[in-house]
Structure 1
Amino acid sequence: MKTVVIGSGSWGTALAQVLADNQQPVQLIGVNQDEVNDINLNHRNSKYFPGVELNKDLHATTDYSVLKDADIVLLAVPTQAIESVATQAASYLEKQVIVINVAKGFNPKTDERMSEVIRRVVPAEKLKSVVSLIGPSHAEEVVVRQLTSIDAVSQSLIDASTVQELFSNHYLRIYTGDDEIGSELGVAIKNVMAIASGIIAGLGYKDNTRAALITRGLQEMIRFGTHFGGRHETFIGLTGVGDLIVTCSSENSRNFQAGKQIGQENDVRHFLETNTKTTEGIRTAKVVHDIALKEHIEMPICEEVYQILFNGKEPKECANDLMLRNLKKEF
């Protein structure tokens, strides 16, 4: 089966290399000719992985026509680009394909989950199924073959199993799942929690505070996800607590890094004025705030992150307000 990976950034490159390691036919599409040349000529993607040598069988191109005979298309682009890239890719497809999504978040205009966007824009006659390949993973670790486990989640367990077999090897273990709602909501909301975790680190709080944040943040993820039909057990798996732990605890997380800067400055303004990186948790914080308000879902941590990002509330004040909320039973 031929897989085409669209997106020569860190995650697209790492996952394309997994397939090359597995001796699977794979083609990587990028938009930056310098990155493409670096991969093809130097077997490196120096912009994202300085000093890392890639599998020599990995090849990249800027030509979308390589999609014509694809069996699987993997979209490794930010959430705001999924709709346009999936639409563009669909115009080249000549048969039904499995579309794999790895982005974690919501459509910036419609608030749809990524699988919903893909099913809307890719014609049914060209779309076999959507599989979300998501879970606790940093591309920087996968590309150097650190042991990692993630989920292939789909309404079609047969196609999820196909993706599982395709990507699994001695350093990447794939599990399958069919709770699309719970998994996609889990990996999206944890980005808001990662911003919160970075903020408390920036404020100088340590292990006790992070443990409380992760635990109570998980409860918010469960509360939100099950409200919309996600299953409780999903949130204690890789796309729930697994992704939450890694993103809230790692300096590799862009969302954590963003929160840390905001916390250190006790102010959001400088970060918003200077940030140039995709930070999915910012947009997600607004989506969760708006939906939670409409649906009357209690999301106190997400709400305070929203107040910091969009209303300029001081992080120290937010931490204090969370601690002084009305006392209650844990469950």
Structure 2
Amino acid sequence: MTKLSILGAGSWGSALAMLAAENEHNVTLWTHKTSHAQNMQTSRQNPDYLKQLVFPDSIKITSDLGEAVRDADVIAFVLPTRAIRQVATELAGLNGFTSRNHLPIIMHASKGLEQGSHYRISEVLLDVLGDIFPDKELPIVALSGPSHAEEVVNHDITAITAASSNLQAAQTIQDIFTNHYFRVYTNKDIVGVELGGALKNIIALGAGILAGLSYGDNAKAALITRGLAEITRLGRRMGADPMTYLGLSGVGDLVVTATSPHSRNWQAGYQIGQGKSPQAVEADMNMVVEGMATTLACYEIAQELEVDMPITRAIYQVIAQGQAVDQVINDLMQRDKKGEIYFAQSQIDQGFIHDKEY
């Protein structure tokens, strides 16, 4: 039995807590709000995020971070990207954490890029926690893939990826969560998996916008396919294996997020397509819309690395610059004509995709 601490009691953190408890692990669920913790502990429910979920009695719920992580084998960050550094810093300041002899696995199941630094989430965690155990390398695992929390708590069949440069750590996460309805694969390309999980939220915003404007399946298919192309371009430029984007954390996560009203990013885009301002949409959403912030960070990264990302640029123009959606779509469609795919034979042989095409 593994002792697992899940930091973050939103929809996905709650679903993962339920899943691990059903697999007979020792689970503590942490939320920063005392009232939220007390309500969940008493009612065994989390109605603000997942109305259908009933927590197993074995799950301990707390707002005390020190209590939550005490002697944990795995500490899982399931928080909005903007909260990762703050909570990791609080964790690093706990005497009980810094003095422990047992090196925990640090897992995260969040999908975004840090504003300003443009760090992937594993990079944020290493930046804050990496020097605490100077004689050992802190194992960090990203759990990512096509997974609506609402469907997981209903025991719908789900398959996702645990990615880490430390394969043993990824296999531990695989063992914790895999069961008859939830299957976890391992992947050593944490760069590719994290970028896929973050960048697909941008395309999901675009898919929602198109739906809000009453465009049909043709437009949706074009957006998803070309969106995957530019995700792959940037991923390869940042050191990812392009083949990762043919897997669960690439095309899988992109399809589920860009085609379903369960997706908060799709919902936000839909409202923008219906004429609501991005600022009003974000203010009215009960949950964090990661795609908004990720669009800003990704646009800046693409500019810096000189990677062509026309869809990302178009969504940036709508969200950050307030340009009219109809005009942005027209400009996107009227760009210079090009071929769809250009591969050099050597790149085909090696599985690489050219930066400037595809």
TM-score, reference length from structure 1: 0.96
Q: Is the 8 A contact 1:98 1:127 kept in 2?
A: no
Q: Per the alignment, do residues 277 and 20 of structure 1 end up closer, same or farther by CA in structure 2, a change over 3 Å counting?
A: closer
- Amino acid in structure 2 at the alignment position of 1:47: D
Aligned-partner Cα distance in 2 for 1:139–1:194: 17
131, 136, 151: which one pairs with 2:141? 131
SS in 2 for 1:52: strand
Q: What residue is the counterpart of 1:253 in the other structure?
A: 263
Q: CA deviation at 1:35?
A: 2.9
Deviations 1:112-133 (A, max 9, x none): 1000110110134186310001
Q: Is the 8 A contact 1:267 1:315 kept in 2?
A: no
Aligned-partner Cα distance in 2 for 1:237–1:49: 28
Q: Which moved more, 1:243-252 or 1:50-59?
A: 50-59
* Aligned positions of 1:59-70 closer than 5 A: 59-66=60-67, 67-70=69-72
Q: What residue is the counterpart of 2:354 in the other structure?
A: none
- Amino acid in structure 1 at the alignment position of 2:113: F
2:311 is equivalent to residue 301 of structure 1: yes
Q: What residue is the counterpart of 1:100 in the other structure?
A: 107
Q: Is the 8 A contact 1:266 1:316 kept in 2?
A: no
SS in 2 for 1:145: coil
CA RMSD of aligned residues (A): 1.6
Aligned-partner Cα distance in 1 for 2:177–2:279: 41
Q: CA deviation at 1:212?
A: 0.7
Q: CA deviation at 1:273?
A: 5.8
Aligned-partner Cα distance in 2 for 1:36–1:102: 20
Aligned-partner Cα distance in 2 for 1:298–1:46: 42
Q: What residue is the counterpart of 1:176 in the other structure?
A: 186
Gaps of 5+ in 2: 342-358
Q: What residue is the counterpart of 1:112 in the other structure?
A: 119
Q: Which moved more, 1:181-190 or 1:33-42?
A: 33-42
Aligned length: 331
71, 76, 79: which one pairs with 2:73? 71
Q: Per the alignment, do residues 61 and 269 of structure 1 end up closer, same or farther by CA in structure 2, a change over 3 Å counting?
A: closer
- Amino acid in structure 2 at the alignment position of 1:17: M
Aligned-partner Cα distance in 2 for 1:224–1:233: 13
Q: What residue is the counterpart of 1:8 in the other structure?
A: 9
120, 144, 148: which one pairs with 2:158? 148
Deviations 1:75-97 (A, max 9, x none): 11110110111121232412311
User: Identity, % of aligned pairs?
Assistant: 40
Aligned-partner Cα distance in 1 for 2:79–2:50: 17
Q: Per the alignment, do residues 143 and 310 of structure 1 end up closer, same or farther by CA in structure 2, a change over 3 Å counting?
A: same
Q: Is the 8 A contact 1:266 1:314 kept in 2?
A: no
Q: What residue is the counterpart of 1:26 in the other structure?
A: 27
- Amino acid in structure 2 at the alignment position of 1:321: D
Q: CA deviation at 1:221?
A: 0.5
SS in 2 for 1:50: strand
- Amino acid in structure 1 at the alignment position of 2:170: A
Q: CA deviation at 1:180?
A: 1.1
Q: What residue is the counterpart of 1:41 in the other structure?
A: 42
Q: CA deviation at 1:275?
A: 4.8
Q: Is the 8 A contact 2:116 2:297 kept in 1?
A: no
Q: What residue is the counterpart of 1:161 in the other structure?
A: 171
Aligned-partner Cα distance in 2 for 1:208–1:169: 36
- Amino acid in structure 2 at the alignment position of 1:105: G
Q: Is the 8 A contact 2:295 2:316 kept in 1?
A: yes
Q: Which moved more, 1:317-326 or 1:166-175?
A: 317-326
SS in 2 for 1:128: coil
Q: Per the alignment, do residues 82 and 272 of structure 1 end up closer, same or farther by CA in structure 2, a change over 3 Å counting?
A: closer
Aligned-partner Cα distance in 1 for 2:18–2:51: 16
Q: CA deviation at 1:30?
A: 1.4
Aligned-partner Cα distance in 1 for 2:124–2:154: 32
Q: Is the 8 A contact 2:268 2:281 kept in 1?
A: yes
Aligned-partner Cα distance in 2 for 1:46–1:35: 10
Aligned-partner Cα distance in 2 for 1:286–1:236: 25
Aligned-partner Cα distance in 2 for 1:312–1:74: 37
Q: Per the alignment, do residues 37 and 44 of structure 1 end up closer, same or farther by CA in structure 2, a change over 3 Å counting?
A: same
2:296 is equivalent to residue 286 of structure 1: yes
